[in-house]
């Protein structure tokens, strides 16, 4: 079997002081990306920040700017699905505490993880967010990606997802590790496989598990890359400037210092300069595993004209990759 290609995007605004606009963080970068993948007949899978959709719909009443945002997103998602792309569930529960005021969304990320909510609340959140997405794209949602990779411990989140018919996850990446106390995750020790089944612990391969993991492809990154990245961010303009026009959450500086001093593991991504690692990551891909998958992620808001060009060249050089979406995994679903 040839190596399958997944391009999985977290479709969302920024969560810092400025969320940025729907036009620049979502609509425009996706339409540019679509032009690139169309040239190679490749398909996209969008993990849509459905908490945002839920809150947008709740607060839309008579606010024409919000009505406009909702309509644009709805049109884009529906036309993507019609063209054979896929749309699945991404959850950032801090939308529970976020309100819209005349000067924009007042983001409150104090409850950033699903773990900050009770099991009953988790179940309500998963149900309502999934519904907000289903309202737009119909009954096709069965896969999940955790906001900020925060999915551990998984047992209670798993119960909530399971109850709402979610059975596929695509959050884990090989050797991923972020030591943050509040927003950390630790995927070291995940199975060295493209896919596996699990129940309450995403790192424990369990044949009869409730969830099917389709891991994001990891990539070993040298400190030099992050030095260059830091420099490039300072000088970002022209083709290196991201489409998104908002501000990211404040990052954990100790973590960034660690990236600058020793090799680390990242997701394979088409965000900005990370797209420069596509070829290297593809070379590193473990082809010993059964049915290898090159699962490249990204964020529309973080794409740049340069990163799209790099993806274009990568796809051109690798016609052997078989492009799929998560809909192509539906046959895996347990009876
Ligand atoms: Zn996200």
Residue 310: how many other CB atoms lie within 10 Å: 21
Distance from the alpha carbon of residue 146 to the mean position of ligand 1, in angstroms: 7
**pLDDT digits 0-9 by tens, 214-233:** 999 999 999 999 998 888 77
Distance from the alpha carbon of residue 1 to the mean position of ligand 1, in angstroms: 32
Quickly state the pLDDT bin for 267 (edges 50, 70, 90).
very high
What confidence score (pLDDT) does residue 183 get? 85
DSSP per-residue string spanning 51-92: HHHHHHHHH-TT-HHHHHHHHHHHHHHHHHHHTT-EEEEEE-
Q: Which residues of 261-282 are buried (b: 16+ CB within 10 A; e: fewer)?
A: eeebebbbbbbbbbbbbbeebb
Distance from the alpha carbon of residue 197 to the mean position of ligand 1, in angstroms: 23
Chain centroid, CA 2 distance in Å: 24
Quickly state the pLDDT bin for 113 (edges 50, 70, 90).
very high
Distance from the alpha carbon of residue 4 to the mean position of ligand 1, in angstroms: 24
Distance from the alpha carbon of residue 92 to the mean position of ligand 1, in angstroms: 6
Task: Say yes or no to pLDDT of 264 above 70.
Answer: yes
Q: Which of 18, 142, 132 is nearest to 77 (CA)?
A: 132
* Mean of pLDDT over the chain: 94
- Residue 278 CA to residue 99 CA, distance in Å, equals 38
What are the structural domains, with CATH classification, of the chain?
Answer: 4-219+242-247+265-332 (3.20.20.370)
Distance from the alpha carbon of residue 52 to the mean position of ligand 1, in angstroms: 11
* Residues 131, 166 contacting (CB under 8 angstroms): no
Distance from the alpha carbon of residue 301 to the mean position of ligand 1, in angstroms: 11
- Residue 21 CA to residue 300 CA, distance in Å, equals 12
Distance from the alpha carbon of residue 14 to the mean position of ligand 1, in angstroms: 9
Min mean pLDDT across 73-87, 141-155, 242-256, 311-325 is at 242-256
Distance from the alpha carbon of residue 91 to the mean position of ligand 1, in angstroms: 7
**pTM of this prediction?**
0.96
Distance from the alpha carbon of residue 248 to the mean position of ligand 1, in angstroms: 11
Using alpha carbons only, give the angle 98, 102, 108 rounded to the nearest 5 degrees: 20
Distance from the alpha carbon of residue 48 to the mean position of ligand 1, in angstroms: 8
- Residue 197 CA to residue 203 CA, distance in Å, equals 9
Q: Which of 162, 143, 205, 130 is nearest to 329 (CA)?
A: 143
Distance from the alpha carbon of residue 11 to the mean position of ligand 1, in angstroms: 7
Q: What number of CA atoms fall less than 13 Å from residue 54's CA on the CB side?
A: 24
Distance from the alpha carbon of residue 12 to the mean position of ligand 1, in angstroms: 6
Mean pLDDT, rounded, for 179-196: 91
Distance from the alpha carbon of residue 96 to the mean position of ligand 1, in angstroms: 15
What confidence score (pLDDT) does residue 335 get? 63
Distance from the alpha carbon of residue 247 to the mean position of ligand 1, in angstroms: 14
Say what angle helices 119-137 and 155-163 make with each other, to 10 degrees. 40
Q: What number of CA atoms fall less than 13 Å from residue 233's CA on the CB side?
A: 10
């Amino acid at each position: 079997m040839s190596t399958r290609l997944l391009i999985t995007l977290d479709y969302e605004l920024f969560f810092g002081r400025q969320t940025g606009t729907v036009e620049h963080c979502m609509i425009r970068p996706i339409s540019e990306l679509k032009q690139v993948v169309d040239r190679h007949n490749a398909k996209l899978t969008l993990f849509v920040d459905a908490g945002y959709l839920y809150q947008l719909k709740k607060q839309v009443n008579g606010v024409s700017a919000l009505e406009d945002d909702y309509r644009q997103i709805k049109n884009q998602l529906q036309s993507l699905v019609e063209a054979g792309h896929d749309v699945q569930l991404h959850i950032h529960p801090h939308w529970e505490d976020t309100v819209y005021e005349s000067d924009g969304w007042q983001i409150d990320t104090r409850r950033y993880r699903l773990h900050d909510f009770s099991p009953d609340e988790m179940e309500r959140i998963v149900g309502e967010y999934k519904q907000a997405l289903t309202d737009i794209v119909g009954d096709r949602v069965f896969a999940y990606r955790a906001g900020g990779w925060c999915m551990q411990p998984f047992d209670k989140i798993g119960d909530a997802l399971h109850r709402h018919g979610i059975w596929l996850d695509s959050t884990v990446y090989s050797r991923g590790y972020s030591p943050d106390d509040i927003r950390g995750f630790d995927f070291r020790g995940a199975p060295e496989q493209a896919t596996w089944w699990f129940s309450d612990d995403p790192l424990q391969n369990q044949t009869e598990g409730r969830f099917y993991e389709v891991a994001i492809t990891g990539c070993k990154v040298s400190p030099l890359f992050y030095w260059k990245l830091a420099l490039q961010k300072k000088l970002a303009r022209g083709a290196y400037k991201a489409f998104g026009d908002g501000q990211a959450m404040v990052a954990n500086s100790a973590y960034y210092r660690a990236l600058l001093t020793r090799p680390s593991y990242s997701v394979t991504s088409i965000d900005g300069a990370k797209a420069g690692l596509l070829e290297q990551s593809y070379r590193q891909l473990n082809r010993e595993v059964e049915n290898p998958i090159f699962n490249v992620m990204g964020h529309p808001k973080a794409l740049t004209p340069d990163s799209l060009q790099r993806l274009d060249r990568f796809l051109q050089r690798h016609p052997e990759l078989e492009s799929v979406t998560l809909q192509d995994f539906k046959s895996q679903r347990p009876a």
